Amino acid sequence: MTLSYWCVLVAVALPYAAAYIAKLGSFRPRDNEAPREWVARQSGWRARANSAQANSFEGLPFFIGAVLIAHQLGAAPLWLNSLSLAYVVLRVLYIALYIKGFSAARSAVWAVAFIVNIAIVFAGR
């Protein structure tokens, strides 16, 4: 399995990590009866962590598709792996900035990650 495929696996785990962070220390077993109501009552960093989760899920199809397309088109492994790793690192940074409330930096990192994703699509020969 290539590094870029491992990056897909990590990217799939990132939304769950953001959800875990949102719930850390506050989410109780009884909250699982109506978890969306619990989320709706959150504010501050917990709400931002949940928003980071949602955005991470939204970005997954494009990243997965980009990696598959690049592999199918015979992208150079070193280039594809480097771009895929860059995407995952940027998404981790994005989540951290989102939770901390650094909106301008978060948006800039999102844009760079989006451009990296486009580069992945065109990495194939």
Residue-wise pLDDT for 1-13, tens only, equals 899 999 999 999 9
> Do the beta carbons of residue 105 and residue 43 sit within 8 Å?
no
Full-model pTM:
0.94
> Do the beta carbons of residue 22 and residue 53 sit within 8 Å?
yes
Q: Domains of the chain (ranges plus CATH)?
A: 3-121 (1.20.120.550)
Residue that the structure tokens 């875990």 belong to? 20
With DSSP H G I counted as helix, E B as strand and the rest as coil, what are the percentages for the chain, rounded to 5?
Answer: 85, 0, 15
Structure tokens at 124: 């194939």
Radius of gyration for the chain, computed over Cα atoms and rounded to the nearest angstrom: 16
Residue-wise pLDDT for 43-82, tens only, equals 999 999 999 999 999 999 999 999 999 999 999 999 999 9
Percent of the chain exceeding pLDDT 90 equals: 89
The pLDDT of residue 1: 87
The Cα–Cα gap between 108 and 61 comes to 20
